[in-house]
Amino acid sequence: MSEQGIINIINFIRACEPRDLNLDLVEPVARQIELVQAHHLAATWLLQYDALTDERFVALLKERLDERQEVGIWFEVMQPLVEKAGLTWRGRFPWDWHAHVGFSIGYTPQERERLADVALEEFKRIWGYYPASVGSWLLDAHLLGYLADRYHISAACLCKDQWGTDGYTLWGGYYSQAYYPSRANAFMPAQSAVQQIPVPVFRMLGSDPIYQYDVAATENGQQVITLEPVYAGNGGGGAPQWVRWFMRTTYEAPALSFGYAQMGQENSFGWPAMRAGLTDQLALAADWAAQGKLRVETLGDSGRWYHERYANTPASAITALEDWRGQGRASVWYGSRYYRINWFWENGRCWIRDIHLFDEHYPERYLNGVCPAKDCTYDTLPVVDGLLWGARLEFIHSSADGATVSLIGGQPEVTEQDANTLVIRWPLNASGEVVCICLPERIKIKCSAHNWGMQLVWQAGKAQELRTVQERSITFEHAGYGYRIICAQGRFVRANDANIVTLIPENGVLELVLAAQE
């Protein structure tokens, strides 16, 4: 059912690195160009404003890039751009990664437009056209809508889901692939054409679908297990075995719409740190492309293809049934324009680790205001949050003596029923099976075991968003915004306001509506 998978090689380029003034920032770009073109691959090169106005990088790209390559903008904000726009620079260095100075959210909506005009007009002066692709760790809805409406960009890319890494929290979003964002929230898929920014946003970096979600946090936020070639010690793009596992998971398993990953590395890590991992990855990408398993194309080409093929955000999946650590874990992500869900298996047990609702009316924090601090947060609407709540929604059954125990089963099987529907079958050790059907607006769960149900359990003092539990609905409030989920078949039970909600099936079926309710 899945479309052919896509790889975007995206290398973004800075001209200054205040954390290491002796770092050679030109060498990585030159070596990346050699690698990409030696394998006859397409790639996207995104220039930060300082690199866009630096003849070393412009000359290198103009002289060496072939016709397969695309040049675009990496939209972080830095001193020369701010001053060219007639604004005051408030950063510690000419490029400062703190959110309130280094990203568009640190500026008013009108100032964001001025910054965009300066950057894109300078790009056109140098390259003769406006860029088709714009990327950043963070992109706000006002800026993204402005770039779409005035400059007609084809695609955008932003950071993976993470909690607090480098001070940036992006949590609960469309987990991989691409989505059309809401006019009110660049991190939130839109549900309607009216509220939809007509530019697909691709998720960068290639997160480990089993281990990245709840990896431990340090002083700098969550650690990183991604396809970035500089990471190798705990899995990641510098570990060849992990890379091959990730590629199988991304391109040989059910994905519904298309499998997707971004390869590449920012030049400010330096060439020695990325050389081995990037060399291995690009050779592998070229080999798989030659076999017809995927296509390697520019971000702009992917955006145009996506726009021609999908009028709204398509359903997608990430299916990781093989554990690269050999510890018997598995993870399946399903996303639509209405919600995302993660099914997780460990030691014969199965639970839902994450559900977040998507509601195009939920505004991002900085839509009309300015980010006041060095850290920032983008999020969606939590229903189950395994990381922040210590929560799980687990399959259970009641034994003869009334005790509640976990259902135990074997290896799940995942199939694509149609372009929007993912079916998960989980065989039970005591005979029978659980069948989970993921549809764009709801999930249906069937089980042949007797006295089965599900229990949502969270750590005491967490899940502050949960407000009321009724037989057919649960209401929540997050950041002052109310929402709910509906049990169309089955019922919810919560006893004595404990940190447990039990889901009881009706005629052996649970059906949860996970589309935002008016």
Q: How far is CA 331 from CA 453, 467, 502, in A?
A: 21, 29, 23
User: How high is the pLDDT of residue 326?
Assistant: 93
Same domain, 164 and 209: yes
User: How high is the pLDDT of residue 221?
Assistant: 84
Q: Report angle CA 336, 250, 393 to the nearest 5 degrees.
A: 50
Which sign, positive or negative, has the C-alpha torsion 353, 360, 73, 304?
positive
Same domain, 341 and 474: yes
In a domain, residue 491? The reply is yes
In this structure, what token pair is assigned to residue 84?
């060219």
In this structure, what token pair is assigned to residue 201?
């946003």
Q: Where residue 32 sits, what CATH number does that domain have?
A: 3.20.20.510
Q: Where residue 464 sits, what CATH number does that domain have?
A: 2.70.98
User: How high is the pLDDT of residue 466?
Assistant: 95
Using the 3D structure, point to which of 285, 309, 333 is the last residue of a domain.
309
Same domain, 29 and 154: yes
User: How high is the pLDDT of residue 22?
Assistant: 85
**In this structure, how many other beta carbons lie within 10 angstroms of the beta carbon of residue 241?**
9
Strands 381-385, 349-357: pairing is antiparallel
What is the three-class DSSP state of 489?
Answer: strand
In this structure, what token pair is assigned to residue 10?
């995206």
Angstrom distance (rounded) from CA 281 to CA 230:
12
**In this structure, how many other beta carbons lie within 10 angstroms of the beta carbon of residue 145?**
19
Contact call for residues 297 and 308 (beta carbons, < 8 A): no
Count of domains for the chain: 2
For residue 396, which of 350, 444, 460, 459 has the smallest C-alpha distance? 350
Angstrom distance (rounded) from CA 337 to CA 190:
6
Specify the pTM: 0.95
Angstrom distance (rounded) from CA 364 to CA 186:
7
Residues 6 or more apart from 198 whose CB is under 8 A from it?
148, 180, 307
Same domain, 360 and 246: no
In a domain, residue 419? The reply is yes
Same domain, 54 and 118: yes
For residue 338, which of 309, 317, 315, 319 has the smallest C-alpha distance? 315
User: How high is the pLDDT of residue 306?
Assistant: 97
Q: How far is CA 448 from CA 321, 343, 397, 414, 462, in A?
A: 23, 19, 11, 18, 33
- Domain holding 428, by residue range, is 317-513
In a domain, residue 94? The reply is yes
Same domain, 295 and 393: no
For residue 514, which of 362, 338, 354, 317 has the smallest C-alpha distance? 338
Residues 6 or more apart from 258 whose CB is under 8 A from it?
2, 3, 4, 5, 6, 177, 316
Same domain, 135 and 107: yes
Angstrom distance (rounded) from CA 511 to CA 454:
12
DSSP 333-374: EEE-SSEEEEEEEETTEEEEEEEEE--TTS--TTSSS---SS
Angstrom distance (rounded) from CA 172 to CA 381:
7
Contact call for residues 106 and 75 (beta carbons, < 8 A): no
Contact call for residues 227 and 237 (beta carbons, < 8 A): yes
In a domain, residue 518? The reply is no
Same domain, 284 and 333: no
User: How high is the pLDDT of residue 516?
Assistant: 82
Using the 3D structure, point to which of 309, 343, 371 is the last residue of a domain.
309
Q: Tens of pLDDT along 222-255?
A: 899 999 999 988 899 999 999 999 999 999 999 9
In this structure, what token pair is assigned to residue 142?
């006002």
Using the 3D structure, point to which of 278, 309, 340 is the last residue of a domain.
309
In a domain, residue 505? The reply is yes
Contact call for residues 235 and 215 (beta carbons, < 8 A): no
In a domain, residue 122? The reply is yes
Contact call for residues 16 and 47 (beta carbons, < 8 A): no
Same domain, 331 and 287: no
Same domain, 398 and 351: yes
DSSP 296-342: E--HHHHHHHHHHH-SSPPPEEEEE-S-TTSS--EEEEEE-SSEEEE
Q: Which residues does the chain have with pLDDT short of 50? A: none
In a domain, residue 384? The reply is yes
Contact call for residues 286 and 217 (beta carbons, < 8 A): no
**In this structure, how many other beta carbons lie within 10 angstroms of the beta carbon of residue 231?**
22
In a domain, residue 109? The reply is yes
Same domain, 345 and 280: no
Angstrom distance (rounded) from CA 362 to CA 189:
11
- Match 């001209």 to its residue by tokens: 15
Same domain, 269 and 322: no
In this structure, what token pair is assigned to residue 430?
């005591």
